[in-house]
């Protein structure tokens, strides 16, 4: 029970102090979330009230199922962009079909997350490497910011890619609306300034931390109120300023997503991508915050919590939600101690939905665009490209491809290309296990890489030390290595594979070992193993491999050499050397050998 309902855990020890801390945090997050919810709904191509709806039920549900004490769930920029990108291919903006597809997306994504949680498939998030997710968020931030620029300028310009959007903006520059710009640009500047400078400014003027914090977080609300008032008072809508218009008042009605299998099939892949991207963001925020207070989150339970939240979003008429980075940090900094803070935030949002919506009629869309731009530009991290280039070229390639494809083709193509490329690069790297040909260090029972150490070998025995577990990505490489040794050593009679670092041998690698045995046997060469670990040996014993093995399994490599090359071991223990290798090539095997 407690595994699936963490509320049973923290709910028992809920005190008055905790309540006060949670209420204060909820107040601050609510203030921050009102303009953001409206803005992200617009970003997703949906009516503004949908953003409010998506910030009520999911928060209550997360409070019941979530294991993070500080995560704040709701609409976020990247997921909203992904929703817009995929739903936009299926239906026209502003139609009931568009809204229905967005709701279905939340529902399907919720089901997928829930299923992954129950099946404990949280490891699927490992498919997304850091460079890919970081590149994807940077590119999404740029795309989102560029898409909002027309709202600031009072022009109409749309595009699916960054180039298209920028081109459309340049093309529409002739239709600039100076009134919109006069309203939007100061708002943008104020938001940028208040984001980082307002709190220190207030504290420097003697305000205490808590009120300074609340006022700083309220800056976007102040911007919303001021620009709405200005638009109403000066009748700016009549001068070409786009306004939000009618927002339905009241709480959302329970709805069911459209059960249309064709639609579900069309949104299945985007829903999966949204689920995984949202989950990765959630887990990374949640575990960062948990670690700060020496708490833990349960990644599989987070899947369940996020899945249930998205289903909650869908049945209350909302769109896909996830744990937001900025608002979770704000929640944490404001002192939220339990997920109950999220439930109180939901109450705040519900009150806003009931009482504030009539006041939003004159809210300029430019203000929301400015809110979005300020939020997403903090996600853009182009410096990561340079850091990754310095550190690892393969990771840089994955990041660069993710960014370029996201900007140039689209979000789904971008994340897919990044994942596939990083998997391919990973397979490439792991397809070459460390393998070293070893010889005996004279006078000792130690064996070291022949390319790096002065060692002796017998002309008719090759000892190959395998430094990694054998799986299908690297099975072929072992085969090639053995074939290479056989082809270049005509006198060869015995091959010994040393397995001190082999923790597992999968079925592909087993077949490879069988193939190697058979081929060596046909060429008159015997295959032996040495230093095989217990669990690997147990598993090999369950197959027919040991029956077909032409040679023996030696406990230590020294035993193997004593049996196969008795002259050699006798002579080197007597310190006579023959067949000595030495060269100074740099070789990754050195450190592996040193580690033994």
Which residues in the 106-145 window bind a copy of itself by CB under 8 A? 123-131
Closest alpha carbon to 438 in 466, 464, 472: 464
CA distance 95 to 375: 28
Residue 49 vs 468, nearer CB to a copy of itself: 468
Residue 96 vs 586, nearer CB to a copy of itself: 586
- Interface residue with a copy of itself among 475, 495, 529, 549 (CB under 8 A) is 475
Residue 87 vs 520, nearer CB to a copy of itself: 520
User: Considering the complex, what minimum distance in angstroms separates the CB of residue 473 from a copy of itself?
Assistant: 5
User: Considering the complex, what minimum distance in angstroms separates the CB of residue 504 from a copy of itself?
Assistant: 7
User: Considering the complex, what minimum distance in angstroms separates the CB of residue 247 from a copy of itself?
Assistant: 40
User: Considering the complex, what minimum distance in angstroms separates the CB of residue 448 from a copy of itself?
Assistant: 15
- Within residues 414-473, the interface with a copy of itself by CB under 8 A covers 422-424, 426-431, 434, 467, 471-473
Residue 20 vs 541, nearer CB to a copy of itself: 541
Residue 357 vs 526, nearer CB to a copy of itself: 526
User: Considering the complex, what minimum distance in angstroms separates the CB of residue 330 from a copy of itself?
Assistant: 17
- Interface residue with a copy of itself among 20, 229, 351, 504 (CB under 8 A) is 504
Q: Is 164 exposed, middle or buried (0-12, 13-18, 19+ CB in 10 A)?
A: middle
User: Considering the complex, what minimum distance in angstroms separates the CB of residue 131 from a copy of itself?
Assistant: 5
Residue 49 vs 531, nearer CB to a copy of itself: 531
User: Considering the complex, what minimum distance in angstroms separates the CB of residue 469 from a copy of itself?
Assistant: 8
Using CA atoms of 108, 109, 114, 120 in order, give the dihedral in degrees to the nearest 10.
130
Structure tokens at 205: 């003027």
Residue 236 vs 482, nearer CB to a copy of itself: 482
Q: Is 539 exposed, middle or buried (0-12, 13-18, 19+ CB in 10 A)?
A: middle
Q: What letter would DSSP give residue 361?
A: T
Residue 97 vs 392, nearer CB to a copy of itself: 392
User: Considering the complex, what minimum distance in angstroms separates the CB of residue 554 from a copy of itself?
Assistant: 15
Q: What letter would DSSP give residue 238?
A: G
User: Considering the complex, what minimum distance in angstroms separates the CB of residue 445 from a copy of itself?
Assistant: 15
User: Considering the complex, what minimum distance in angstroms separates the CB of residue 225 from a copy of itself?
Assistant: 36
- Within residues 507-526, the interface with a copy of itself by CB under 8 A covers 507-508, 510-512, 515, 519-520, 522-523
Stretch that binds a copy of itself, among 89-97, 265-273, 402-410, 528-536 (CB under 8 A): 528-536
Residue 291 vs 570, nearer CB to a copy of itself: 291
- Interface residue with a copy of itself among 182, 359, 501, 563 (CB under 8 A) is 501
Q: What letter would DSSP give residue 291?
A: H
Residue 392 vs 445, nearer CB to a copy of itself: 392
CA distance 585 to 596: 20
157, 172 in Cβ contact below 8 A? Answer: yes
- Within residues 373-392, the interface with a copy of itself by CB under 8 A covers 387-388, 390-392
- Within residues 281-320, the interface with a copy of itself by CB under 8 A covers 283, 287-288, 290-292, 294-296, 299
User: Considering the complex, what minimum distance in angstroms separates the CB of residue 502 from a copy of itself?
Assistant: 9
First to last CA, the chain: 47
CA 385 to chain centre: 17
Contacts of 87 (CB under 8 A, 6+ apart): 44, 45, 98, 101, 102, 105, 267
Residue 319 vs 554, nearer CB to a copy of itself: 554
Q: Is 566 exposed, middle or buried (0-12, 13-18, 19+ CB in 10 A)?
A: exposed
- Interface residue with a copy of itself among 18, 255, 543, 552 (CB under 8 A) is 543
Q: Give one word for 247, left, alpha or beta, with left for phi > 0 and alpha for psi -120 to 50.
A: beta
Residue 387 vs 562, nearer CB to a copy of itself: 387
- DSSP three-state, residue 74: strand
Per-residue binding letters, 575-594, with a copy of itself (x by CB under 8 A): -------------x-xxx-x
User: Considering the complex, what minimum distance in angstroms separates the CB of residue 6 from a copy of itself?
Assistant: 15
Provide the 10 A C-beta neighbour count for residue 404: 16
Binding flag, residue 547, a copy of itself (CB under 8 A): no
- Interface residue with a copy of itself among 160, 493, 539, 562 (CB under 8 A) is 539
| Alpha helices (H) along 205-298 | 209-217, 219-233, 261-292
* Residue whose structure tokens are 């207070």: 293
CA distance 325 to 517: 55
Q: How many chain residues interact with a copy of itself (CB under 8 A)?
A: 82
- DSSP three-state, residue 526: strand
Binding flag, residue 486, a copy of itself (CB under 8 A): yes
CA 477 to chain centre: 31
CA distance 213 to 239: 36
Residue 579 vs 591, nearer CB to a copy of itself: 591
- Interface residue with a copy of itself among 500, 556, 559, 562 (CB under 8 A) is 500
CA distance 557 to 439: 10
103, 318 in Cβ contact below 8 A? Answer: yes
Structure tokens at 433: 């296990």
Structure tokens at 50: 């949908």
356, 48 in Cβ contact below 8 A? Answer: no
Residue 45 vs 473, nearer CB to a copy of itself: 473
Provide the 10 A C-beta neighbour count for residue 585: 8
User: Considering the complex, what minimum distance in angstroms separates the CB of residue 465 from a copy of itself?
Assistant: 11
Binding flag, residue 493, a copy of itself (CB under 8 A): no
Q: What is the 3-state secondary structure (H, E, C) of 454-494?
A: CEECCCCEEEEEECCCECHHHHHHHHHHHHHHHHHCCCCCE
User: Considering the complex, what minimum distance in angstroms separates the CB of residue 550 from a copy of itself?
Assistant: 14
């Amino acid at each position: 029970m407690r595994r699936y309902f963490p509320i049973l855990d923290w709910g028992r020890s809920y005190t008055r102090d905790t309540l006060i801390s949670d209420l204060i945090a909820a107040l601050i997050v609510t203030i921050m979330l009102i303009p953001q919810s409206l803005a992200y709904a617009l970003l997703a191509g949906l009516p503004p009230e949908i953003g409010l709806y998506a910030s009520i039920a999911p928060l209550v549900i997360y409070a019941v199922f979530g294991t993070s004490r500080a995560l704040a769930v709701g609409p976020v920029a990247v997921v909203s962009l992904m929703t817009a990108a995929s739903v936009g291919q299926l239906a026209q903006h502003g139609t009931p079909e568009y809204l229905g597809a967005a709701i279905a997306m939340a529902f399907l994504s919720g089901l997928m997350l829930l299923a992954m949680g129950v099946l404990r498939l949280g490891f699927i998030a490992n498919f997304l490497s850091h460079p890919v997710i970081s590149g994807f968020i940077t590119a999404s931030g740029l795309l989102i910011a560029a898409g909002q620029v027309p709202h600031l300028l009072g022009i109409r310009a749309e595009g699916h890619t960054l180039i298209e959007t920028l081109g459309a903006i340049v093309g529409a520059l002739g239709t600039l609306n100076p009134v919109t710009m006069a309203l939007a640009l100061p708002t943008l500047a104020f938001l940028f300034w208040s984001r980082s400078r307002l709190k220190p400014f207030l504290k420097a003027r003697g305000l205490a931390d808590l009120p300074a914090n609340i006022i700083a977080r309220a800056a976007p609300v102040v911007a919303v109120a001021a620009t709405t008032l200005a638009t109403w008072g000066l009748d700016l809508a009549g001068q070409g300023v786009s306004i939000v218009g009618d927002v339905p008042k009241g709480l959302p009605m329970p709805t069911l997503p459209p059960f249309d299998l064709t639609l579900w099939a069309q949104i299945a892949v985007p829903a999966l991508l949204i689920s995984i991207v949202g989950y990765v963001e959630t887990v990374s925020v949640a575990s960062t915050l948990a670690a700060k207070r020496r708490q833990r989150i349960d990644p599989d339970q987070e899947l369940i919590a996020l899945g249930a939240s998205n289903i909650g979003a869908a049945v209350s008429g909302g769109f896909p939600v996830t744990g937001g980075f900025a608002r979770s940090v704000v929640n944490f900094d404001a002192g939220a101690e339990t997920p109950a803070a999220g439930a109180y935030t939901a109450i705040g949002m519900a009150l806003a939905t009931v009482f504030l919506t009539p006041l939003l009629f004159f809210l300029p869309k430019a203000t929301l665009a400015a809110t979005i731009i300020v939020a997403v530009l903090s996600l853009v991290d182009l410096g990561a490209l340079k850091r990754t280039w310095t550190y690892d070229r393969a990771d840089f390639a994955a990041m660069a491809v993710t960014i370029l494809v996201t900007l140039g083709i689209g979000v789904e193509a971008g994340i897919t290309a990044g994942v596939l490329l990083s998997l391919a690069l990973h397979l490439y790297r792991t397809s070459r296990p460390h393998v070293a040909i070893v010889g005996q260090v004279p006078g000792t029972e130690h064996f070291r890489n022949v390319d790096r150490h002065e060692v002796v070998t017998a002309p008719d025995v090759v000892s190959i030390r395998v430094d990694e577990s054998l799986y299908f990505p690297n099975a072929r490489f072992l085969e090639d290595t053995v074939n290479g040794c056989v082809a270049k050593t005509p006198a060869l009679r015995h091959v010994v594979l040393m397995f001190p670092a082999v923790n597992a041998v999968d079925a592909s690698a087993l077949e490879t070992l069988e193939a190697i045995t058979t081929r060596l046997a046909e060429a008159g060469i015997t295959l032996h193993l040495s230093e095989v670990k217990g669990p690997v040996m147990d598993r090999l014993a369950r197959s027919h491999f040991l029956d077909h093995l032409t040679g023996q399994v030696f406990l230590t490599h020294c035993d193997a050499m004593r049996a196969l090359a008795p002259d050699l071991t006798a002579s080197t223990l007597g310190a006579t050397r023959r067949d000595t290798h030495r060269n100074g090539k740099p070789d990754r095997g050195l450190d592996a050998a040193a580690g033994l």
